[in-house]
Amino acid sequence: MQTPPKGEALALNNELMTKEWGRINPSDFPNLHREHCTLTDYHIDTYNCIAWSVGEKQFWISPPKTRDEFVKLYEIFGAEEIKKKDDPRVFAAGYLKNGVPTHAARVYNELWESKFGEGPRLTHPPTGLDGSNSYGSATIYFSTPYDPAGKLNQLRELVANRKPKTDLTPIRQNLEQHCQPLFKAFDDHLKAWEAACKKMSKDTLPAEYAQIQECNPLLALGPKILPLLVEKFPSGDFGFAAGLYDKLQSDHRYTVPADRVDIKCTLKAESLKIVDLYVEDFFNVIVRTALQNFEKPKKPFANRQELLKSNEFLDIAQQGWKVIPFMLDSYIKQHREGKASLWHIVLEEFNNPKGQTDKPIAASTKADFDKWIDWFNKVTPQQWSDGDHKLYEKYQNDI
């Protein structure tokens, strides 16, 4: 087993030690006594017990919600479950209450060590936390997280301060000029939700943030707010919004897989991964190219039938309705610059397919533009989700 850290005796009767002891809410631990503990790190909110149990001090890893996910989390970092607590291979002990993971401690033979949430890190007797109303008891044990696949390093890289290659801010600013009702609703509801989220425990998972009532008005706005939401957390600061993103994003190619509990339990990591998936993979690689190709087709479209059969249109239809905010961005730019635009036809087909017609197609008018801006402000999630099924197959096979 590991060698315990030296630390400072909490029994020292001074103001600093008394404050640190008070930060753990000692009344919640009837079997924990100050004279049996040493202080190994002062209170800090950058990491917690789960993170420290795998040797990490740079980020916060919230406990998963099931025992199986708890085991999976440690397995991702190269640890394995140990059946006996006196096995010399034991590195960490996991606590569960009513079957739900709550806490983890480092194991040093006859001495254990815990980081108490945002509070201090202490060594304590193995039974010191037993009987806690918050933690339950230590019921599961893990070996050293030797991390053969480098998952911990990948997580470190995800949460490191960085900027995405592509910035959605210009798109947000462009849409905001013409979609003020939507943006006001989004900003107002987001502020109210964020205020409610800040009152919740730091161990709250993204999916739980998205279940509170203050999130419902944002869900009611539907998937059209996805680029606005993602634009808010390019550096991971809006990590709590990852659960809302998951509810709005219908294409699971652009969500974090459920079995990556290491990312799912680390707010900043999940939000940064979403930026990679949505901004870099979806928008920058796929959507940007499709939009540019449609605006500058290999040859002009003679009529609607020819437009709908074109690869340029099919590449857009293949993405479904989630491409519409970016389509509106392009539409606004062309309208502002006085360029001929055909985006009104694409929007028309997405909403009410007209299919084959040999009638000549006309460029967008101001009336067309105003109509579709108004539609984007008002379109409901039900219309959006109902319209996002097999668009590509329809145009590929039926026209």
Q: For residue range 147-175, what is the model confidence (pLDDT) as tens digits?
A: 877 888 889 988 887 777 788 999 999 99
pLDDT at 7: 75
Residue 386: pLDDT above 70? no
Residue 399: pLDDT above 50? no
Res. 388 pLDDT band, cuts 50 70 90 = low
pLDDT at 163: 73
- Adjacent-strand bridge partners of 115: 121
pTM to 2 decimal places: 0.89
Q: Can you list the positions of beta strands (E) in the chain? A: 8-9, 38-41, 81-82, 92-97, 100-108, 111-115, 121-124, 137-142
- What mean pLDDT comes out for the span 257-264? 94
- Adjacent-strand bridge partners of 81: 142
Share of the chain above pLDDT 70, in %: 94
Give the three-class secondary structure for 138.
Answer: strand
pLDDT at 15: 85
- Assign residue 11 a region (left: φ > 0; alpha: ψ between -120 and 50; beta: otherwise): alpha
pLDDT at 12: 72
pLDDT digits (tens, 9 = 90+) for 280-331: 999 999 999 999 999 999 999 988 888 988 999 999 988 888 899 999 999 9
Residue 396: pLDDT above 80? no
| Residue count of the chain | 399
pLDDT at 41: 94
Q: How many CB atoms lie within 10 A of CB 258?
A: 11
Do residues 55 and 144 lie in contact, with contact meaning Cβ atoms separated by under 8 Å?
A: no
Give the lowest-confidence range in 158-172, 198-212, 373-387.
373-387
Residue 43: pLDDT above 90? yes
Tokens of 283: 């928008």
Residue 239: pLDDT above 90? no
- What mean pLDDT comes out for the span 67-78? 96
Tokens of 70: 């708890």
Q: Which amino acid, one-letter code, is at 184?
A: K
pLDDT at 351: 84
- Those residues with Cβ within 8 angstroms of residue 3's Cβ, 6 or more apart along the chain or in another chain: 108
- Report the b/e string of 356-378 with b at 16+ CB within 10 A: eeeeebeebeeebbeebbeebee
CA distances from 194 to 16, 46, 198, 199 (A): 33, 19, 6, 9
* 398 vs 21: which has the higher pLDDT: 21
Residue 358: pLDDT above 80? no
Does the CA dihedral 107-108-110-114 come out positive or negative? negative
Do residues 105 and 52 lie in contact, with contact meaning Cβ atoms separated by under 8 Å?
A: no
Between CA 266 and CA 245 the distance in angstroms is: 15
